[in-house]
Chains A and B, each alone.
Chain A
Amino acid sequence: MSDSISKITNNKPIFVDNDPQDELFTLNLGPTHPATHGVFQNVLQVDGERIISGVSTIGYIHRAFEKIAEHRAYYQITTLTDRLNYCSSPINNMGWHMTVEKLLEIELPKRVQYMRVIIMELSRIADHIICNGILGVDTGTFAGFIPMMVKREFIYEIFEEICGARLTTNIGRIGGFERDFNETAFSKIKQFAKEFPAVLKEFEALLERNRIFIERTAGVAAVDPETALSYSWSGPILRATGIDYDVRANEPYSSYEEFDFEVPVGTNGDVYDRFLVRNSEMWQSLRIIDQALAKIEKEPEGIFHADVPDFYLPPKEEVYNNMEALIYHFKIVMGEIDAPKKELYHCVEGANGELGFYLISDGGRSPYRLHFRRPSFINYQMYAPMSSGMLLSDAIINMSSLNVIAGELDA
C-alpha cells in the first residue's frame, strides 16, 4: 500500500493498484469538512458507502512549537501549550508548570495544588462536554448539546474570572497562580458544582438509553485492549477498552493521591463505551472538585504561590519601590533562570490521554530540547487503519468519539 500512498505528492491518482476494474471511488474527507470538526484530511477509497482503505494527511496547522520552545524562556512556553489541546488549555498549562517546577525542585503549598486540581477538573469537564455533546449532534440530536454548551460557557466564565482569558488561558505561573481566586470565582465554582449535575443527568437520560443513539454507536469502531495498547492509546478511549490506566491514579501529581475518585472503564471499546466513560469521568471530576473545595476551606487563606522569589514574579507595588524586587522582576522577565542541567519526563492526564513533556535543560534560559507527547497525535494514527470496512457515517462518529483536537495533533 505504501507505494500507492507515496503518489499523493506527485498528483497522480492513489489507490490504483487494488482497483483493476476502476469501480472504487476516491473521496477526500477534509481538510475542511464540517463533519470532521477541525483540519483533518483523510483520502478514502470507498465502495458505495463502505470505506475500503484510507490515508490520513496531517500537519495542516503545524506551528513548530518544539522549535519555538528551544528559543523561548521557560515562562513563555506556557502560551505555546495553550494551543495544543485548546479545548482544555488549563490542563496543558498546569502540566507545563509542573514540569518546570519538577526541574527547579519547587514544592507547592497544598492550597495551590488543590486550586490546580479544581482548574484541571473543570477543563476536563469542558473538554468532555464538547466531545460528548458533539457526538450527540453527529448522531442527530441537538437537544442534549445546547444545555451542556451553556454549562461549558459557564466554565469559561470561571476561567475568565481567574485569569482573564477564556480559550487560550495561560492560567497560572511557574510556582503557583498569578493571583488568588477571588470571591466571585469561588462562588461560581460552587454554583457550577451545584448546578451541573442536573444538566449532566438530563443529558445522560436523553442519550444513554436512547434507541437511535445506541444503534448508531454501540458496536461501532470497537477496539480490543491489545490493539489499543499496541497503538499506544491513552485516555478515555483506552479506558473504554477496559484498561484502567489513568495518570492521575497511576502516578499522582498535584496531590491527586489525596482524592477519592474512580477510574471508569468500558468493556467493548466502541463509540458507545467511550461516550459512557467520558460521562462517568465528568461525574468523577465533579466529585474531585467538591473534595478540593472542602480541602481548600481547611488550608490557610490567601496562599496562591510558592515562596520562590527566584522564579515567581514579585508583586507590582514592590517592583516600583523595592530594589531586590526590581532585580528579581528583571531577571525573571529576561528569563535568566539558573536551571539545573537535567533531563526529565513529566506527564499529566489530559482530557484525551497522557500529555507528556520531555524536557532537556542545558542550564540555559530556554530548554535544550522540549518534546510534547501529544495524546491526539498518537491516538489518531489508528483512525485510517480502523476505518477500513466501516461505513462512512460510522467513520464520522468514530472521529468525533476519538476527540482528536487539531492543535494537539499537529503541534
Chain B
Amino acid sequence: MAKLSNESIIARLNSRFEGRFNQLDESYGLLTLEVGKGDILDVLEFLKSDGELQFGYLTDITAVHYPDLPKEFAVVYHLHSLVNSIRIRIKVFLEGSYPAIPTATVLWNGANWMERETYDFFGIQFVGHPDLRRILNVDDMEVFPMRKEYPLEDPNRVDKKDYFFGR
C-alpha cells in the first residue's frame, strides 16, 4: 500500500468535515489539526473507522494549559494508524475554568485512564466518562496541579528563589 501522506489525510477529512478543522502545524511530519469541541467525537470516530485512514490506535490523551489564550486549555489526542504507519495529533481548545469535552471512552477502552489522568491534573470534565475520579493524586485534593497558576513548591520558601540561580 502506498504510504498515506498528510495531504491525503486532509483531503479525506475534507470530504466530510470541510471547513470544520484547522491545520495548526506539520513540524517533524506530524500533522496537527485543531477541531472544535462539538466535532471532536465525530472526527475521532471518522479517523478510527475510515477504511483508508484507519487511525485505530489511540496513543495518548493529555492536555496543555495556556493561561494567556482566550481558550485556556487544549486537549491533545495522539492517534496512530498502525496499518499506514502514520501519526496524527488532534487539538481541541476549551474555555472556562471547568471546561468540558465529550469522552473518547466510547471509542477506545484505553481512553479511560488517560482521561482520568487529564482530569486529575487539569480539571477537564470528560462528559459521559464512566468513572471520572482522580487517579494519581489523593482523592481529597482540591486543585488541579498541572495548571500553570500552581507553583511547583511552597512560594513562601526563601532559600530557593529563582534569582539565586539566574533564572
Question: Which A residues contact B (CB, under 8 angstroms)?
Answer: 1-2, 5-6, 8-9, 58-59, 62, 64, 66-68, 70-71, 102, 227, 229-233, 243, 245, 250-251, 334-335, 342-345, 347, 354, 356, 358, 360, 365, 368-369, 371, 373, 377-378, 381-382, 410-411
Contact residues, B128-167 vs A (CB, 8 A):
130-131, 133-140, 145-146, 152, 165-167
A2 pairs with B113, CB closer than 8 A: no
Q: Kindly report which residue of chain B lies nearest to residue A57, judged by CB atoms.
A: B135
Q: A59-B135, A250-B85 are in contact. Are A2 and B130 (CB under 8 A)?
A: yes
* In the bound complex, CA of A84 to CA of B117 (Å): 16
Would you mind naming 13 contact pairs between A and B with Cβ atoms under 8 Å apart? A8-B139, A9-B140, A58-B136, A59-B136, A229-B56, A230-B110, A231-B110, A245-B57, A245-B82, A335-B167, A345-B87, A377-B117, A378-B60
* In the bound complex, CA of A59 to CA of B113 (Å): 12
A230 pairs with B27, CB closer than 8 A: no
* In the bound complex, CA of A210 to CA of B106 (Å): 42
* In the bound complex, CA of A9 to CA of B134 (Å): 11
Chain A neighbourhood of B126, CB < 8 A: none
B139 pairs with A9, CB closer than 8 A: yes
B145 pairs with A67, CB closer than 8 A: yes
Contact residues, B60-87 vs A (CB, 8 A):
60, 62, 64-65, 76, 78, 82, 85, 87
In the assembled complex, the CB of B76 is this many whole angstroms from the nearest CB of chain A, namely 7
Whether B43 is near chain A, meaning CB under 8 Å from some CB there, is no
Contact partner of B78 among A2, A345, A365, CB < 8 A?
A345
Contact partner of B167 among A245, A354, A365, CB < 8 A?
A365
A381 pairs with B27, CB closer than 8 A: no
In the assembled complex, the CB of A363 is this many whole angstroms from the nearest CB of chain B, namely 14
B62 pairs with A381, CB closer than 8 A: no
Chain A neighbourhood of B82, CB < 8 A: 229, 243, 245, 250
Q: A6-B133, A369-B64 are in contact. Are A70 and B87 (CB under 8 A)?
A: no
Contact partner of B57 among A58, A232, A251, A377, CB < 8 A?
A232
Q: A58-B135, A369-B64 are in contact. Are A343 and B57 (CB under 8 A)?
A: no
Chain A neighbourhood of B59, CB < 8 A: 232, 345, 347, 354, 356, 373
Chain A neighbourhood of B140, CB < 8 A: 9
Chain B neighbourhood of A345, CB < 8 A: 28, 30, 59, 78, 87, 89
Chain B neighbourhood of A1, CB < 8 A: 131
In the assembled complex, the CB of A230 is this many whole angstroms from the nearest CB of chain B, namely 5
